[in-house]
Amino acid sequence: MAKYCKYAKAKFMFSVYLGKHIETKKKAAIKIIKPEIMENIDMGQIEKEVDVLKTLDHDNITRLLDAGYADLKVRSKTSEVYHIALEVAKGGELFDFISVTGEFSEDECRYYFHQLVDGMEYLHSVGYSHRDLKTENILLDKHYNLVIADFGYASGKDKNTTAVGTEDYMAPEILRGDDYQGKVVDIFGMGLILFMMRARGKAFMSARPSDDYYRNFCVNKPYKFWSMQSSSKEDGENHFSEEFKDLVNLLFANNPTHRLTFSEIKEHPWYNGALPTQDEIETSFAERKQILSEQLESQASEEAAHHEYDPEIFEGRVHRGIELDAEDSQVLERQEMEYDSDFKRYTEFFSTSSLEELWNCLATYVNDLTKDISFAEEEYGVIAKVSKIEGKHSFANLSILSYI
In this model, does residue 16 exceed pLDDT 90? no
Given the residues 57, 66, 132, 310, select the one marked as catalytic.
132
Per-residue model confidence (pLDDT) at position 19: 77
Which residues is 83 bridged to in the sheet?
32, 68
- Ramachandran quadrant class, 383 (left: phi over 0; alpha: psi -120 to 50; beta: rest): beta
**pLDDT recorded at residue 359:** 67
Mean pLDDT of 273-286: 97
What is the location of CATH 3.30.200.20 in the chain? Answer: 4-87
Whole-Å CA distances, 90 to 12, 60, 114, 140, 301 = 17, 14, 20, 7, 22
In the prediction, which pLDDT does 38 show?
72
CB atoms within 10 A of CB 125: 10
pLDDT value of position 191: 98
**Residue 6 pLDDT > 50:** no
Question: pTM for this structure?
Answer: 0.70
Structural contact between residues 41 and 344, judged by C-beta atoms closer than 8 angstroms: yes
CATH class as words, domain 92-295: mainly alpha
Concerning whether 132 is annotated as a catalytic residue, the answer is yes
358-398 per-position pLDDT tens digit? 666 666 666 655 555 555 555 555 556 666 555 555 556 65
CA 274-278-284 angle, to 5 degrees, is 90
Task: Confirm if 111 and 276 have CB atoms less than 8 A apart.
Answer: yes
When pLDDT is cut at 50, 70 and 90, the band that residue 169 belongs to is very high
Per-residue model confidence (pLDDT) at position 376: 56
Homologous superfamily in CATH for domain 4-87: Phosphorylase Kinase; domain 1 (3.30.200.20)
Distance CA 21, CA 28 (A): 7
User: pLDDT by residue (tens digit) across 124-133?
Assistant: 999 999 999 9
User: What does the mean pLDDT of the chain come to?
Assistant: 79
**Structure confidence at residue 212 as a pLDDT band (50, 70, 90):** very high
* Closest C-alpha among 150, 165, 123 to residue 31: 150
pLDDT band at 46 (very low <50, low <70, confident <90, very high): confident
Task: Indicate the length of the chain as a whole number.
Answer: 404
State residue 365's pLDDT score: 62
In this structure, the strands spanning 77-87 and 64-74 are antiparallel
Residues 6+ apart with CB under 8 A from 348: 40, 41, 395, 396, 397, 398
Task: Decide if 350 contacts 393 (C-beta within 8 A).
Answer: yes
pLDDT > 50? residue 84: yes
Assign 77 to helix, strand or coil: strand
The candidate with the shortest Cα–Cα distance to 397, out of 336, 389, 387, is 387
Q: Which of 172, 222, 228, 220 is nearest to 199 (CA)?
A: 228
pLDDT in tens, 302-360: 655 555 555 554 444 444 444 444 444 444 444 444 444 444 444 555 566 666 666 66
Q: What is the H or E stretch that residue 294 is in?
A: helix 278-301
> What pLDDT does 308 receive?
55
Which helix (H) or strand (E) covers residue 74, if one does? Answer: strand 64-74
Q: Where do you find CATH 1.10.510.10 in the chain?
A: 92-295
